[in-house]
Structures are given as structure tokens and as C-alpha cells.
Amino acid sequence: MSAAATLPPQAAAANANTLADALAAASISSSSSPKPDQENDDDLEDGEIRDDEDEEDDGKVKTVFDDASRFNVKHPLYSTWTLFFDSPQSKLLPKTPSSTPATPQGTHGGWMEDIRKVVAFDSVEEFWGLYNNIIPPSQLPGKANYYLFKDGIMPAWEDPKNKNGGKWSIQVPKEKSKGAIDKMWLYTMLAAIGETFETPLPGPDDKEAPAPTQSDLVTGVIVSSRPAFYRISIWTRQAPDTSLTEADALMSRVLTIGRHFKVSVLGYELEQKLVTGGFQTEIMFESHKDSEKKGNKNKIII
């Protein structure tokens, strides 16, 4: 398997695009403010340390590029996202109102009871703050999941935004993928919060990468650690009838998401057959309704 070792161009573009849009929206430039440290360090005597607590807010716009800890402007994402988590251990912990998602009782058949809300965020800075402070998927115990979902959507088939939907997923063998799964998950999250999943791949004659298209079909992304494999899933609000061709608009949008996931996020070739050490690592789509059926054959494989 050849999951990319560095940020693939479109994942990097998604991240850069999110930042650029945020900067434009805030009408600021990352280079417009002088760096406070550069500005004031000359005032300090040898060995003197500035007391940040006492420093007055000078009213200037400070982005994270100006000052990594004392910025006062954040770069907004298109949407608010919520990270949820569950594991066999988390199921044993006492529940608190802030960690248990507020859902009407019984709506999710008990499925949501053991899933903990970690935090909601709506800026690039909060995403990286969260990412840098939680353990990566490679260190999760077997049977644990991270769920990153949009705008108040619960990570459950029963949520109204998911109930007619489905998922793209890939399963990779655990032992062979420990070194790759963390980046696969990071790039998946970046494509989700950058909302670039619906961006088509460049065609053979296109000189430039297509402009990102905001991804409205995607409701969330999940990474699951299981005893023998990792799985990454991308959930969509709708699922096409698998007998349709790409001429159908929904089928075309869903295929675009799957191809973007395979090529731009995971770094595979579009036509590449994905078999790792005898383990089938196909990227496939199935509706949530079909995935409940044993031996479901209504799948799309790319």
C-alpha cells in the first residue's frame, strides 16, 4: 500500500484554501501585523522575561502566524464540527451531561449512549489545538472510534441527516498500516473540514487542479480501530441506487467523493487495485440501510 508520506497536493490545497478564505473573510493579511515579540524584545534587559499576563492588548489584529499563543483572530471553518469518541473503556466511565450528546431518548436505539462528545470547534486554530492534544488512531485500543461530524449531526444512522445516506470506507490491515493510519486520518479530517470531498479530480487535459467545491453531501468521517484492521469511513447524507450509472447526478457526486478520497486523500492511483498482503483493502460505498443486511451485494467499488 502506498498511502502518501507527505501531505498530498489536494489535501495541502484544501488546508491552504481554508486558511486563505478565512483570511479574506477577516480582511486581514498574515503579514500585515508586526510580530509583538520582534517589536518589544529590544526593551528587555539581559535575562529579563516579559510577563505576558501584564501585557496590555494593544488592539492590533494578531493571527496565529504573528503569535502562536496570544493571537486574537481565528480563521473560521465553513462549518462547525464535533469530535466524538468511544472505546470499551469509555463505556465504563460515568456519564456527565457535557460528555453525553443531547439527543431525544431512544432516538438512536441506545447507540449514542456510549459515545462521548469530546469538543465542537469552528476554526482552523481550534482544530489543530485539538489534533495536537488527542492520541492518534495508531495508539487507540481495539474497538475504539473517533467520529468527526458536522453541524450538530450525530454519528448514527438514525440521525435525520444520515438516515437516507451511506458511507465510503476502506479497511487496512492493522500490523501493516500502523505507520500510515495517522496520516490517512489527518488528511481525511482536513478534506472534511476544508469541505473539498466533492472536488473532482483533474482530467487528463486539465493543466491546473480544479477549484475546491464545498462538500454538502458529507456529514462526517470516522476512524475505527479493530483488533485486525483500521477502517476510515466517510458518511454521506444520501445514497444512490447502485444500479444507476454516472449519468445520475447523485451517483456522480458520490463517485466524486470516493475518487477524491482514494486519490487526493489516500494517495493511491485511481485505477490501482487495493490488496495488501492478501487483505482486501477496496474502497467501497454502501447505503446504511444495505450495510445492516448480512452479505449485502449492493456496493460500489472503486
Q: Which residues bind ligand MGP (CB under 6 A)?
A: 108-109, 111, 156-158, 224, 226
Give 34 or 109: the residue with its C-beta nearer to ligand MGP. 109
Pick 146 or 157: Cβ nearer ligand MGP: 157
Cβ neighbors of 238 (< 8 A, separation 6 or more) are 164, 165, 166, 217, 250, 254
Grid coordinates representing 87 are: 472505546
Report the nearest approach of ligand MGP to the CB of residue 79 (Å): 21
Residue with smaller CB distance to ligand MGP, 158 or 282: 158
Smallest separation (angstroms) from ligand MGP to the CB of 278:
19
Smallest distance from the beta carbon of 226 to ligand MGP, in angstroms? Answer: 5
Residue that has been written with the C-alpha cell 448480512 in this structure:
294
CB 120 → ligand MGP: shortest distance, Å?
Answer: 20
Rounded-to-integer distance, Cα 63 and Cα 51, Å:
20
**What is the smallest separation between the CB atom of 231 and ligand MGP, expressed in angstroms?**
7
Residue whose C-beta lies closest to ligand MGP: 111
R_g of the chain, CA atoms, integer Å: 21
The residue among 40 and 280 lying less far from ligand MGP, judged by its C-beta, is 280
The nearest distance, CB 94 to ligand MGP, in angstroms, is 22
Per residue, the 3-state secondary structure of the chain, as one string, reads CCCCCCCCHHHHHHHHHHHHHHHHHCCCCCCCCCCHHHHHHHHCCCCCCCCHHHCCCCCCCCCCCCCCCCCCCCCEEEEEEEEEEECCCHHHCCCCCCCCCCCCCCCCCCHHHHCEEEEEEEEHHHHHHHHCCCCCHHHCCCCEEEEEEECCCCCCCCCCCCCCCEEEEEEEEHHHHCCCHHHHHHHHHHHHHCCCCCCCCCCCCCCCCCCCCCCCCEEEEEEEECCCEEEEEEEECCCCCCCCCCCCHHHHHHHHHHHHHHHHHCCCCCCCCCEECCEECCCEEEEHHHHCCCCCCCCEEC
Query: Among residues 276 and 291, whose Cβ is nearest to ligand MGP?
Result: 291
User: How far apart are CB 22 and ligand MGP at their closest, in Å?
Assistant: 32
Nearer to ligand MGP, 226 or 299 (CB): 226
For ligand MGP, the closer of residues 65 and 111 by Cβ is 111
Nearer to ligand MGP, 10 or 224 (CB): 224
For residue 203, the minimal CB distance to ligand MGP (Å) is: 35
Rounded distance between C-alpha atoms, residue 192 and residue 258, angstroms:
13
